[in-house]
Structure 1
Amino acid sequence: MLANQMPAVAKDSGSVVVSPVSGKSDLKHFIELPKRLYREQPGYVAPLDIERAETLDPGKNPYFRHAEVQLFLAWRGDKPVGRISVQICKLYQERYGDRTGHFGFIDAIDDLEVYAALMAAAEDWLSQRGMLRILGPLSFSTNEESGLLIDGFNALPMLMMPYHAPYAGFRLEECGYGKAKDLIAYDVDKTTYQAVGSNRLLDKVKAEGRVRVRPLNMKHYHRDLALALDIFNDAWSENWGMIPFTQAEIEAAAAGLKPLIDPKLVAIAEVDGEAAGMLVCVPNLMEAIADLDGSLLPLGWIKLIWRLKVGRLKTARVPLMGIRRKHHGTLLGATLLPLMFAAIKDHFLSRGLERVELSWILEDNLPMRRVCEGVGAKAYKTYRLYEKRLG
């Protein structure tokens, strides 16, 4: 399906047949499969079908402008039993030049034959296009859902963070995949968060007057969110596996996040009048849609709007935070994130929010992990990226 130049073909692996997604019926199966697999699991909430469809639509997701993508379904008889995406990002190739392709959207029944067939189809597709390594899951990139959940299966479902069954990691390892990198999600509860905000160093920086922390200006929403994403691109540009947001992706992210944005839960730190850091906290959409099973019909729209605008959600996520590289390793830079956390604290608590997830952080990004732990956050979920050499 979608943007491949060479046609994908069905792969027969014993009783399992893996075939490329073709047409609306296949796409519907691809979107709905995780619901059937995970519906009874306490750590799973079905994402909105409309959001999944837009993510997989080459006309709506800017990722497809710089990537070649194929979706596959695994079938046993007439029943879909697994799914996977496989993709080659041109921007990744330009940046790293290591001939690595990616896989994502990996979900299947607990059956090694199914996993082996899906991974073989992905590996063949990439090998035919000259790739030497496969890495994932990335659905589709590090700027979207990343990693495979390996612990915290019963923990709070969170916006833009994937769910996988406990067996998934073991099945990938049985297919010859090994750990490439772990991603850590942190959790802060309101009791701990109340203690954030004042120590001698932060008070000194505030007194000097060089730093100003302000909320997002909704009159200039697109400008301010684009500014936050520009800071994110700069802050994380040297991190492992990072691909900066393109301008089109910045615009799409701004449009997608707007219904969730509370301007007082966004902090932009300015140093000597220049934007130097940002922190974006958004209410947890997964809490608001927990009982909708992915559908907004017939009354889901009403429930969702009421819960976001009137109801008091208890959970939130910080998907974006960082400071510009010029301030990394400086004493002033070390204060910016704590100051931003302190700036949104009162509004966070006044909204009735009780927990916030900070995610995700690379396992070896010790400076950022120390910042998270410094505001009382505790690691509570781990997502793993897997890799395998091809050929």
Structure 2
Amino acid sequence: MQIIDQKVQITTVSSHIVIQPVTTKAQLKAFVELAYRLNADDPHWVPPLKSETYALLSPKKNPFFEHATVQLYLAERDGEAVGRISAHIDHLALEQPVEQGLGPGTGNWGLLEADSEATASSLIDAAEKWLKSKDIDRVIAPMSLSVWDEPGLLTFGYDHSPTVMMGHHNAAYQGWIEGEGYKSVKELITYDLPITDGFPPLIDRIIKSGERNSKLKLRKVEKAHFDRDAKIIMNILNDAWSDNWGFVPLTDHEIDHVGVKLKPIVYEDLIMIAEYDGKPVAFLMTLPDLNDRTKDMNGSLLPFNWAKLLWWLKFPKSPTMRVPLMGVVKELQNSRAASQMAFMMIEYIRREAVSKYGATRGELGWVLDDNQGMVAIANAIESKVNRIYTLYEKTI
């Protein structure tokens, strides 16, 4: 698949703004660097490591491109970059059932950054025209790039920084996007909870009942065999989430890629796999908040940030833990064992996070607003909504 489309012509939107496809290394650099300039004054924006952003946009390094067509656009005014957007089609998403949110005729745009509403409007128009030229008639956005990356636009929770692998956006973008005719189609929720004092008595009783269940066995992942355990986790995930809105299966290459990407921030006592009758059926993944360490690095590991990061990775201390992924195979999702496994994993990891890593709070999510099981878990452990990301749709 390709990241550029040589057939797309430069589009002059006005006498001041020019939208053009990214086709050169210089344009790609401008595309990446723009986010750091436009968000420099936002105290809650966490600059991503530039190496990670370049890898995300590289067909050689990101297996998403094996099943997607991607076009990047750059907006310029008087020769200066003032906006950017990606337009893309995930061909695996086209194969999904329409009732699950994606399906035939659905494309996406994402990675939006703009200095003004006029710039944003011009960029969205260019993305829509490109998608329409590819026989797309419906847009779900923003999606940056995959549903497994950073989907949705932040629409609640601007007053604090995001945790690792979560986005943060200019509050003005919501009005600009909705002004282009986009309507909310799904909300992705994150939950905040204090973790130093444990959970309510009801949860303790469920955990104790699980500990008496001889069919249940919980184990930590083994970093020495993380490739094996990553495949187990992602296979459970593909099954557990397969009926969810917006689901797109991870390919074998993507599973391997996720394993490699996550391994540096994987700690054995923060990720658990649950077995039922000797078969892996559930998992819970927790990550120390890397953003807390990288926020002041401005996206660069030079000259000495690499040493600081390596030291932190070796001896991580983090007040915040994020639970990005959790799943139980469909066969057991409505069973008593599912509740037992979920709360046992949450509690066991909570103890480790507090005692070994100095954690005082956790963040759960994102969670689909209609995922009744996960919303019930979040409510049961008395967590509170702290961020909402909105996905929009529009017929073009």
Alignment TM class, shorter chain as reference: over 0.9
Report the Cα distance in structure 2 between the residues aligned to 1:258 and 1:311, rounded to whole angstroms.
14
Q: 1:371 aligns with which of 356, 374, 377?
A: 377
- Give the CA deviation at 1:56: 0.4
Name the counterpart of 2:222.
217
Match of 1:7 in 2: 7
Q: Is the 8 Å Cα contact of residues 196 and 375 (structure 1) preserved in structure 2?
A: no
- Cα offset, 1:197, TM superposition: 8.9
Match of 1:92 in 2: 93
Q: Would you identify which runs of 4 or more consecutive aligned residues in structure 1 move more than 6 Å?
A: none
% same residue: 36
Change in Cα spacing, 1:144 to 1:364, as seen in structure 2 (3 Å) is same
Q: Is the 8 A contact 1:315 1:353 kept in 2?
A: yes
1:165-244 paired onto structure 2 within 5 Å: 165-191=170-196, 193=198, 199-244=204-249
1:372-391 matched pairs, under 5 angstroms: 372-390=378-396
What one-letter code is carried by the residue in structure 2 that aligns with 1:315? T
Contact 1:338 1:375 in 2 (8 A): no
Contact 2:206 2:340 in 1 (8 A): yes
2:348 is equivalent to residue 340 of structure 1: no
Q: For the structure 1 residues 174 and 312, does the alpha-carbon distance in structure 2 shift closer, same or farther, using more than 3 Å as the test?
A: same
The residue that corresponds to 1:16 in the other structure is 17
Work out whether residues 197 and 341 of structure 1, in 8 Å CA contact, stay in contact via their aligned partners in 2: no
CA contact (8 A) 2:206 2:339 kept: no
Using the alignment, how far apart are the partners of 1:100 and 1:289 within structure 2? 35
- 1:12 maps to amino acid: T
**Pair 192,379 (structure 1): closer, same or farther in 2 beyond 3 Å:** farther
State the TM-score, normalizing by the size of structure 1: 0.96
SS at 1:290's partner residue? helix
Question: Which amino acid in structure 2 is aligned with residue 90 of structure 1?
Answer: H
The aligned length equals 389
Question: TM-score normalized by structure 2?
Answer: 0.95
For the structure 1 residues 274 and 91, does the alpha-carbon distance in structure 2 shift closer, same or farther, using more than 3 Å as the test?
Answer: same
Unaligned runs of 5+ in 1: none
Which range moved further: 121-130 or 356-365?
A: 356-365
1:61-91 per-position Cα deviation (integer Å, ceiling 9, x unaligned): 0000000000001111111111110101110
Deviations 1:257-278 (A, max 9, x none): 0000001000111111111110
Distance 2:201 2:354 in 1: 12
Q: Secondary structure at the match of 2:233?
A: helix
Does 1:286 find its partner at 2:291? Answer: yes
Flag structure 2 segments of 5+ consecutive residues without an equivalent: 98-102
Q: Distance in 1 between matches of 2:242 and 2:203?
A: 30
Shift of 1:198: 5.2
2:18, 2:234 → 1: CA distance?
Answer: 42
Contact 1:144 1:160 survives alignment (8 Å): yes
CA contact (8 A) 1:138 1:146 kept: yes
Q: Do the aligned partners of residues 373 and 303 (structure 1) sit closer, same or farther apart at CA in structure 2, a change above 3 Å counting?
A: same
* 8 Å Cα contact 2:141-2:393 kept in structure 1: yes
Counterpart AA for 1:25: A
Find 1:263's aligned residue among 264, 268, 281.
268
AA partner of residue 7 (structure 1): K
